[in-house]
């Protein structure tokens, strides 16, 4: 008889625990932050440098607008070398 009472009390406590946990959990986000931002908000993509052909995050790139097109470079050196190379082709 004592075991049955113990199981009933345990079950009631467990149900109360789950209800409280669900109530508290609604006010907090279930997604863990990644690099200081909530999951799903990181909108960075990897792009390829047109000069040295390496991939880098777009947000860290050096932007060049040429003929209405945005080009992104991994560094100002790559951008400058690209412009020098393209200048030689048109001469």
Mean pLDDT by 10 residues, the chain (91 residues): 90 93 69 59 80 92 91 95 82 44
pLDDT of 87: 80
Domains plus CATH for the chain? 44-91 (2.30.170)
pLDDT of 66: 87
pLDDT of 90: 53
Q: What is the value of pTM for the model shown? A: 0.51
pLDDT of 91: 44
CA nearest 71: which of 87, 55, 49, 54? 49
- The span from the CA of 43 to the CA of 35, in Å, is 12
């Amino acid at each position: 008889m004592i075991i049955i009472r113990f199981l009933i009390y345990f079950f009631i406590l467990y149900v109360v625990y789950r209800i409280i946990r669900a109530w508290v959990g609604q006010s907090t986000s279930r997604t863990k932050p990644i690099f200081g931002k909530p999951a799903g908000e990181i909108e960075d993509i990897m792009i390829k440098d047109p000069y040295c052909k390496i991939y880098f995050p777009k947000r860290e790139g050096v932007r060049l607008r040429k003929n209405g097109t945005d080009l992104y470079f991994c560094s100002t050196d790559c951008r400058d070398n690209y412009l020098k190379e393209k200048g030689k082709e048109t001469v």
